[in-house]
Structure 1
């Protein structure tokens, strides 16, 4: 018997904690994905094909980890075996990137294009902890204030890169705020897009 509802309350708290950890893990993985994806785009523009290939391969692995986490599983060391049964599309992109007869540049461009359309559509759900913090007050947040929040602390995310991409996708609004009364300097702050 659970007369004081202690067991039921404990179960509810555990589920809330598990959901929060799940969301934090997605944010962390998405940040890693975004970093590698952006690096690959930079390298391919500069014709550094091997560096672009290495970074897009790592971005694709992060994408696979995101898919696995979204499925409610924990990513294993053998990510490609695990993702093969969960999302054949991501696995086929991995095969295409690593074994196709196309030129290296064409293979990289194919995966970059797939990343742009597929993973970027998951940005809002993957960045939920950050978006929730941004929406928790009416005044805009500085990067320093965001980094101090427990929802974001310790994740090792590239916050400025994430915010830049969220602004570009119009999920977040960038606001210039005067640093002092004389308006001699402006600081960039972030809030949810209305």
Structure 2
């Protein structure tokens, strides 16, 4: 298949805008990685009108997909974990063009997983975890058990990803296989949720209690990035936080994380007077630690 695709990627490689080209072949072991296609051609470019452009090809009964992705989009996927297959493509793909060793350096960075990158990813996963746990608990309290189940499954998934990142690894598509070896306690919780013969209500009740402890034990490491950014100023309006370039990655989960950290007394609310009588702006600041 590579010989057939060579004219396509060689034409792209001749463009000065192209940074690198990878070829990913389907294997039985990593079947989901290529979305059933026999080959994926990943072309990384500096800039483009569309952050992602996809073409599909067919030849002699074989299927191939070409993904042209901007450097910014690639970095966003890597930071937010919003395209889990990209890690398998980068790890397992064959480099056929690499301008100035861009892909080689990227793969080295993935292996080393710098601490600062981990810190941001842990913050994002922790915020997603709090969102899912909070929503799930609300559904459970309202006796909507199936909706609660859906949210607690997702919250455990974010907890699992957080544990993997905490241990210096990138979460892969097979995250539960990773967690089974890295943090068996979380894996056992997941097994109990999906395999137990207890009633759904009882399973959820036990899971919420156990999850609360595991979430609490990871609050410091999960909130470290957000709190470190907040320490840059004495006080924050929520819009200042939403627009901050390092905090915008939290997206819709930022507010729920802030409220959680207020409840845990890591962030405190500051009232700022407005022109209206008895109405105050609600600002936020990191709680000062006693030395």
**TM more than 0.5:** yes
Give TM-score scaled by structure 2 length: 0.58
Per-residue CA deviation, residues 22-61 of structure 1 (Å, 9 max, x unaligned), is 1111111111111110111011111111110111011001
1:56-93 Cα offsets, whole Å, 9 max, x none, are 01100110000000010010111111110111100000
Larger relative helix fraction: 1
CA distance in 2, matches of 1:121, 1:169: 12
In the alignment, is residue 105 of structure 1 matched against residue 105 of structure 2? Answer: no
Paired with 2:279 and 2:132, the residues of 1 have a C-alpha distance of 33
Gaps of 5+ in 1: 1-13
Root-mean-square deviation over aligned CA pairs: 1.6
Q: Which has the higher contact order (CA 8 A, sep 6+)?
A: 1
Alignment of 1:1-194 (within 5 A): 18-138=114-234, 140-180=235-275, 183=277, 185-194=279-288
In structure 2, C-alpha distance between the alignment counterparts of 1:68 and 1:185, rounded to whole Å: 44
TM-score by length of 1: 0.86
Q: Stretches of 4+ moved more than 4 A in 1?
A: none
Report the equivalent of 2:86: none
- Paired with 1:24 and 1:171, the residues of 2 have a C-alpha distance of 18
- Equivalenced residue count is 177
What SS is found at the alignment partner of 2:135?
helix
Q: Is the 8 A contact 1:43 1:51 kept in 2?
A: yes
Which structure has the bigger radius of gyration?
A: 2
CA distance in structure 1 between the aligned counterparts of 2:184 and 2:117, rounded to whole angstroms: 26
Larger strand share, 1 or 2: 2
Deviation, 1:179, is 2.5
Instruction: Quote how far apart the aligned CAs of 1:21 are.
Output: 1.6
